[in-house]
Structures are given as structure tokens and as C-alpha cells.
Structure 1
Amino acid sequence: MQTKKAGVGEFFKNLTRQQIFIPLVALALLLIFNLIADPNFFKITLGHNSAGDPVLSGYLITILDSGSELAILAIGMTLVTAATGGQDISVGATTAIAGSVILRVLCGTDSRPDELQAPIIVAFLVACVAAMLFGAFNGVLVAYFKIQPMVATLILYTAGRSIAAWINNNELPIVSDTTFTYFGGFIPGIPIPTPFFIAMICVIVIALVLRFTNLRLYTEAVGINENSSRLNGLNPAFIKILSFVILGLCVAVVGLIKVSRLSSINYSVIAKDIEMDAILAVALGGNALSGGKFNMTASVIGAYVIQCLTTTLYKFNVQSDALPAYKAVVVIVLVVMSAPGMKDFIAGIKKKIAPKKHDVKEVG
């Protein structure tokens, strides 16, 4: 019996050591809270959209839909955090730029075209190039000019939305082609939101890249000790820039989803404050904001946890202006709990309350 209890205790002890344990517990607590407060939170209904296609609706579907954008950004933000020990606060503004580029290519010089001026895939690829270039710009500032990531990305955070508006001459282009709405809405005949499938594709792609390339090893090596990685033949500057470029690619995907939802763009509102959610997703995934080792799966789950928190707050009529305050509290708790001083403090308490082992003398 003691062996069985010891086995169960060892299992839970190993479980709590897993990095993915934190976001899963946070998600479970949110779901339990909603189950107690209002079981209708889990209600999913099958209805029809304006085009007559079957679609699923409900709070859980909203989490899958909106959380998918955040999950895509969390992929790139995790790499940037791991490689540089800092975060990119310009992803919201760069998303506006990517979305504006897409609309510019699709609409051309006419902000209200009757038909698309270019294929959607071409517009998306152009946006990818643009977003990756802006990512490389941030990366160069961090890698070569040694500017702290948050300070370096503050440039695009401040000017990005103005650049997005300039791309379309401060006009608000509107795409009338219904196929464009599929990326941010529903594909006819499929009741699950398309962004969820796009996010899953991104997760699979990055999982394959991390599995079959040395990207994880190089990124973690640079984040843990840049000087040591250089002595081992790596180019830390290139790895840092590459992480920002990958984040730029993620931003382009989110930009496509964002502008597809409305077939237009609002430069001042699109992806507003999404950078905070992306950073929080990385932190909630148990990844050290100071860089180094990372768990991509935990970050992705953390993104959906953040969206679950946002949806829960909206459900209880919390004003949108107050949402950042609630999330800031979560950020503070996570940062404090992951601080080396706090870890040492907790370790000291465990030593004090742990039962002391007494030496057993053999009786001869």
C-alpha cells in the first residue's frame, strides 16, 4: 500500500514539474469557475450565418476563434523571447501594416473595387515579405545595435499604424469578394471557424521545424549564454534576427485573418493591445521572459487560456477599457513567481517544512 501511495505521489510530483502544468491548471480553474457561475458558458449551438451556411456559436467557439490569432503570435513571440530575453511590443502595429498591405494589393488604386486586382495568395505573400522585413528591422536593432527589444520595437509600436494608414492613403479599402471572408470566418460547409485550422497548421509547421532542424537548440543556446554560443560556432546576431523574422511571418498570418473578418481595416483599432496578450501567453506557458529554454506547446495553450480569461471577463460585463488592468495583475503574478528570488524563497520554505530524516541505528 505504501508503495502504491508513493507511486501516486511521485506521479503528481513529476506532473507538477512539467512546464505545461501551469497553463493547464489555469485553464482548468477558469473552466471550473465558469461551470459554477454559469453552465451556459459551455453551451454550443448550431446555426446559420448570413450566407445560410451552418456555423457553430458559443463562448467556447469564440475562444477557439479569437484565441487562434493569439496562438499564432505566441509562436513567434516565444522564439523572440527565448533568443533575446526580451519581447516585441510592435506586433499589433505590424499586424495593421500587414493587413493594410493585403488590402492595397487586392484593391489596387481603387478602394472599392468590383473585383480583386490580384489573387489573395499574392497579396498574402507580399504582406509576408513586408512583415518579415519589418521584423528584420527590429532584429537588426536588437542584434547589432544592442538595443533592448522592448525599446527597439517601440519605434514600430509608435509609427506602425501611421505607416499602415499611409499605405492606403488614409482610406479604408473594402473587399467585396466573399471568398476573402473565408480566412477570418467560415468555409462553406465547415461549421468550425477557419482561424482555428490556420492556427493548427502553424502549430504543426513550427513543430516540424523544431523537430527536424536545430532551430530550438540554437535559439536556446543564444538565449542562455550568447558568448558561449558564439564560442561554439553560432552566430547569435543571425539567430536573433531570424526569430524576429519568424515573428513577422506570424504577424502576416494574423493580419490576413484580421482584415478578412471585416473585409476592411480600422488602423487605430485592429489588433489593439494584442502584444500584451501574446507576451502574457508566453509567460503563462512557463517560459522565462529572460530568455533561454522554451516550451512552444505551453505557449500555445497559454494563448487559449488568455482568450478564455478575456471571454470570461466580457461575459461578466467587464468593460474593455478595464481588461488590461486585470491582465496586468496576471502578468505581475507570473513575473514575480518566476523571479529567481521568489524561487529561492519557496525552496527555503520547503526545506523548513520538510520532515527531517533521522538516522536509524542498527541494533547489534
Structure 2
Amino acid sequence: MTHQLKSAPRIADDNGQTSLDPGSQEAVMQEKEQSHGIFLHTGWRSAGTWVWSRFRAFQTVTAFYEPLHPILGDLREADIPALEPTWTSGHPTLTAPYFTEYRPFIQDNMHGVAGYRKSFGTDRFGPSADAGFSALHAYLKNLHDQTTSEGKIPVFKFCRSLGRLPWFKSAFPQVMHAVVVRNPASQFASGWLLHQQWNNPFFVAAPFRVLGLNQGEPIVKQVIEACGVRLPPVPVTSVDEYAAACEQYVRTVDGDNAYRAFMAMWILCAVRSLDQADLLVDLDRLGQSPAYASALRAQIQGQVAITPDFGGARDLVAQTKGNARLMKGIDGRSIKSTHAAALNFLVSQKGTSGPGAGITAVVKEKLALARELSEEWRYY
């Protein structure tokens, strides 16, 4: 059975703002049996790692970090201890290195996690599962089933799954599919500052790479055109070569185009994922509203019988406001039209009434917040 977040009721938080009520989402899911694990679908720089760390704290949970990450293809057990957060990552302090949970699945006397393929590392946006999805399904099912057979609750934190969420939802109906949502200005700013201050181009290059590798899909071509994205002027050859070209491209990219690419990716993922979610985790609200955090905990407890502690959530909206003066190379006044283009694309896909109305309302709120935050950016 498909459980969509239709025109769900909304709650006011402690600041008087509204968001989807996690309690109302429980009513939408009431026919669903107890979930056998969680698929936590996140975007880059969305604070999804912090949310994942809240689940990892439980002894009853086995929490897999980014099961689609390319590093898993060559991972050796001896590599794991060195895979700790860097002080520039913004990630929480971890009790164990990122990929510790994969130790039992690393092939004996070899390298790489059993069943992993490098092709898993690129998100896809086709309307139906591609030829490689059966192998991806088998790989994740092995991780899931071995974990549950040991009496543990599997929690997977994805960063490359939002485009494929409809495929995952069909293949894994027994798990709770939770989508982390953060306003696009804050999410973009997090990656942009790493690029500007620490010469880390990955997060600025990622939207160009994913859009370019998927530009043959009609919906991807449409969002590229709608947002006016200028892709790197190089042919798409191998994934590795195109990824390298994208990282080189963004070393001199103008901020306006970088934001357009990010926004195209953000709104495309919203279109593909939000109405597939069993639960939305709103990171903009989580650090501001104890009422929202409490309702979210209750909803998760009702589905997977664990109660994560969200009490230490940072106010990420205030953080973005505080970092506005650090945003160099991009002027908020020049990207206003990008928000309007993204909203028009969403409406063309989901409409403003009927089943898509609730999701359109959520995205409108996120875009309004993004406009407010980005207005403080000035090109210096």
C-alpha cells in the first residue's frame, strides 16, 4: 500500500510558524504495520548525518552510513578507523568511525562491501527502475535482512536516493521511508562555504554532475531548462571523467549558476520524493521548536519502537543568518528568479490542489524561507 502525505494538517511551532504535523502523518500511515527499519533519505549538507547519529546511539540499532557511497566499492577493514569527521565537515562527533557497521560485510581477503557496485553511487530519476536496480535491491536487502536476523533495527542514511525513492518505496514497503528537508538557501550555503573557505568543490560540483549524467531523462532536461542551468561544456563520457570535469568547472563557476544548479537538483528531488515519504523530518523546524521535535519523536516511536533524542538540534536557520556575511561570490538579489522558476516547475508537476497540494505548500514555505535568507548575500 502506498502512503502519501496528501493535504496533511499542519501545526504551529513555538515561533508561530507552521509545518506538517508528524502526528497527522501517523494517521496517514495507520494501516501500516510496525516498520522493519528506516530508510533515511537526505541531501548533501542537509544535516542528515546528525539525524542519523541520533539513531546510531541505540544499541538496538545498526545504522549504516551512506550505503550508496563510492568508497564502499574499495573499502578495507583496515581503512575504517581513519574515516572520522573532519573539523570542517560540520558533522557531529561520532562514537565510532562512519562505516564501522559494514565490517561484517567486507569480503574476506579482498576489498569492497559484498554486493556493492560503483554504479549505485549516482542517483537516477527515471519513472521506473532501471536494469541495475535488481542488483541494488539485492545488496540493500542483504544488509537489511542480516541485521534484522540479529534482532537489530536497520537504519540506512542515504545521500544519493531521493531521485530513486519511488523505486525504493516499491522494493522495500516494510521499512519507514523518512525524508530530511532543509530550505535550499541554507543547504547551498553550507556547501558553498566549504568551497570558498576550504577549497572543497565536491558539494558545489555534485548538482552539475548528477544533472549532467541524467540529462537524457525528460524531467531532468525540463528542470535544467526551467532553472537556466549552464552545465559544464564537456561531453558526458565516463562517470569518473565527468565528475572530474564538474569539479574543475566549479573552481571558477559564478555563484548565480552554482545556485541555479543546486536549486534545480533540490526541486527535482522534492518532486520525486516528498509525496513518497512516510515521514518528513524538517531540519529548519527541529532546532527551533521543542513541540515539533516531541511530535517527531512520538511518530518515530510509533513506527519503529525507538525514541531518538533530538534535543541537541542546532538552530540551522539562525546559523545561516549568522553566516550571511561570509557568503562571497554570490548576490542574493540576482537569484530571486531562480526561486520562482523552481516553484513554477513544481506546480507544473504537482499542481496546487488535489493530492499534490500538501507537498506544494511545504515547498512554498521552504522557498519563501530561502528567499528571506539569501537576500542578505552580497557579491564581494
TM-score (norm 1): 0.29
Larger proportion of helix: 1
